[in-house]
């Protein structure tokens, strides 16, 4: 990955963070906004929000057009992450709690506020003078599907079942890993890229190409998250996935492909 | 309350239930949809979804125009109720778990799927040929605000704090009860009535009158939920609230006020 590509990602991520900081001021009720602020910014990085912005820019949209969707994606990721780490009694391999200061109740309630807050940002981002309502509603549908019963929650449930089967040990079944990467990070990044494309004014074909590109980017991220760079077989698979991802970008010849292609490399 | 009024409420409630049954079939992933189905229909009744439909009909809208919003309100109420009853270690006065069959993980995850599912229904209810996008986006904003950091989550957090102050005993401070009824049931019913009005094509003034009517209806419901019919002082307050509520309906002279007025009576 070139210096340019890396600084492109960094500049989008910084813009999303600055946008979120403006949106979540420390205002009343402080008992909700203060932990919401902490939970929003303490979450491990996830490339889906930045990919959403990059997809919007690739198809000629302005960065600001995708900013609400990127913020919503980040908030939903942070909410899901916090709930995933809630200390519950029936988790076979409980993840370490990330917000011990607050206790389980706040870790349950505050993410329940972050999700509607994300939808509010999206709905308010509509600009009736620019005739964007249809695009915004489509993005709300896309995001709802990826976070709903056939999306993220299905993936988290499978992860839970695999944890139970596995008796609490590390995963080493390649097929299972691929399946989880597809259902969790794959779906999320596919949705993020498609949303960015829609908001940037892409046509249907461009949107679907970017959705597939996002899917492969997500699966790569899933592998890196799960097995790191240690396992050679997985690394081979990452190379294959990268080639599949980059192939989707061939549809965008003549456009600024270099910037968005960086997402197919681990960073 | 007359027989007519009571059967009006019952007919709306039955229609919402039938609509939800169609929307949540027992399809894959069954591990998510089966408990989602149960959690949706096992929740104690809440009059906000039916009030949303009644407000839509009062201003001349068709019942079907408010059905997605009513379903979303019901799903969000059911999700919030299930999370409220999650067995967590730091609850001073834990509520009885309602879905013991599933264990805490499913009680956490499935409501996390129900909320986006509600937003998806709303976004998909837009009919571009009828130019409804603006209304649907406004309703999404209204619902997000009432479920977000300054709405339901703030109310639940206050309820939690009051429970801690109270050392686990029953509440008997009238001011505290009124505050909680206003912040929880009051806000939710105000939002429900306003959403119904918006979807029914009400003007701004009608929407605001119905929002205030909904607010008083919610506070009445809150009192009935919390103190029942035993405490005379509270009953006096309920009478006052009922008069305030009915006063708002005077703005709708010549319209079918009788039906919606039943919501100001406990049922």
Look up the CATH number of the domain holding residue B256.
1.10.600.10
pLDDT at A208 (0 to 100): 98
pLDDT at A233 (0 to 100): 63
Q: What residues have CB less than 8 Å from A181, skipping those under 6 apart?
A: A218, A219, A221, A222, A223, A226
Q: Flag if A148 and B88 touch (Cβ within 8 Å).
A: no
- pLDDT tens for B114-123 read 999 999 999 9
pLDDT at B86 (0 to 100): 87
Q: What is the mean pLDDT of residues A175-194?
A: 94
Q: How confident is the model at residue B168 (pLDDT cuts 50, 70, 90)?
A: very low
CA distance A160 to A166: 10
Q: How confident is the model at residue A221 (pLDDT cuts 50, 70, 90)?
A: very high
> What DSSP string describes A111-152?
HHHHHHHHHHHHHHT--GGGT-HHHHHHHHHHHHHHHSTTTH
Q: Is the pLDDT of residue B170 over 60?
A: no
User: Which of A171-185, A191-205, B213-227 has the lowest average pLDDT?
Assistant: A171-185
- pLDDT tens for A90-147 read 665 556 666 667 888 899 999 999 999 999 999 999 998 999 999 999 999 999 999 9
- pLDDT tens for A227-239 read 765 666 667 889 9
pLDDT averaged over chain A? 89
Q: Does B138 touch chain A (CB under 8 A)?
A: yes
Q: How confident is the model at residue A13 (pLDDT cuts 50, 70, 90)?
A: very high
CA distances from B226 to A47, A250, B44, B85 (A): 46, 63, 14, 16
Nearest to B145 among A87, A120, A154 (CB): A120
For chain B, give the percent of residues with pLDDT over 90: 64
- pLDDT tens for B184-218 read 999 999 999 999 999 999 999 999 999 999 999 99
Q: What is the mean pLDDT of residues A74-99?
A: 80
Q: Is the pLDDT of residue B164 over 90?
A: no
| Bond preceding residue B167 cis, omega within 30 of 0 | no
Contact A80, B112 (CB under 8 A): yes
For chain B, give the percent of residues with pLDDT over 70: 87
Q: How confident is the model at residue B126 (pLDDT cuts 50, 70, 90)?
A: very high
Residues of B in contact with A91 (CB under 8 A): 105
Residues of B in contact with A109 (CB under 8 A): 83, 153, 156-157, 160
- pLDDT tens for B27-68 read 888 888 999 999 999 999 899 999 999 999 999 999 999 999
pLDDT at B188 (0 to 100): 97
Give the chain B residue nearest A83 (alpha carbons). Answer: B108
Q: Flag if A120 and B148 touch (Cβ within 8 Å).
A: yes
Q: Does B101 touch chain A (CB under 8 A)?
A: no
Q: How confident is the model at residue A26 (pLDDT cuts 50, 70, 90)?
A: confident
Q: What is the mean pLDDT of residues B221-243?
A: 81
Q: Flag if B88 and A110 touch (Cβ within 8 Å).
A: no
Boundaries of domain holding A227: 3-264
* Total of domains in chain B: 1
Q: Does B128 touch chain A (CB under 8 A)?
A: yes
Q: Flag if B36 and A141 touch (Cβ within 8 Å).
A: no
Q: What is the mean pLDDT of residues A240-263?
A: 94
Size of interface A-B (CB pairs under 8 A): 168
User: Which of B94-108, B189-203, B249-263 has the lowest average pLDDT?
Assistant: B94-108
CA distance A112 to B147: 8
Residues of B in contact with A126 (CB under 8 A): 133-134, 137
Scan for tokens 């067995």, then name that residue.
Answer: B87
Nearest to A153 among B32, B124, B141 (CB): B32
Give the chain A residue nearest B148 (alpha carbons). Answer: A113
Q: How confident is the model at residue A87 (pLDDT cuts 50, 70, 90)?
A: confident
């Amino acid at each position: 990955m070139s210096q340019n590509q890396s600084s492109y990602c960094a500049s989008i991520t910084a813009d999303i963070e600055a946008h979120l900081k403006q949106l979540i001021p420390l205002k009343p009720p402080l008992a909700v906004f203060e932990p919401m602020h902490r939970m929003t910014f303490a979450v491990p990085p996830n490339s889906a929000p930045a990919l959403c912005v990059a997809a919007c820019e690739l198809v000629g949209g302005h960065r600001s057009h995708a900013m609400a969707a990127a913020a919503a994606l980040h908030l939903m990721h942070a909410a899901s992450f916090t709930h995933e780490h809630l200390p519950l009694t029936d988790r076979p391999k409980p993840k370490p709690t990330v917000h011990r200061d607050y206790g389980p109740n706040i870790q349950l309630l505050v993410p329940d506020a972050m999700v509607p807050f994300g939808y509010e940002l999206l709905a308010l981002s509509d600009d009736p003078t620019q005739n964007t309502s249809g695009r915004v509603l489509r993005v709300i549908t896309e995001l709802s599907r990826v976070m709903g019963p056939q999306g993220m929650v299905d993936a988290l449930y499978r992860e839970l079942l695999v944890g139970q089967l596995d008796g609490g040990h590390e995963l080493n079944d390649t097929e299972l890993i691929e399946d989880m990467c597809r259902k969790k990070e794959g779906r999320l990044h596919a949705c993020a890229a498609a949303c960015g494309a829609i908001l940037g004014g892409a046509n249907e074909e461009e949107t679907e190409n970017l959705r597939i590109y996002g899917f492969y980017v997500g699966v790569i991220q899933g592998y890196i998250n799960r097995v790191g760079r240690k396992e050679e077989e997985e690394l081979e698979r990452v190379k294959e996935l990268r080639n599949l991802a980059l192939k989707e970008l061939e549809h965008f010849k003549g456009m600024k492909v270099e910037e968005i292609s960086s997402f197919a490399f681990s960073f």
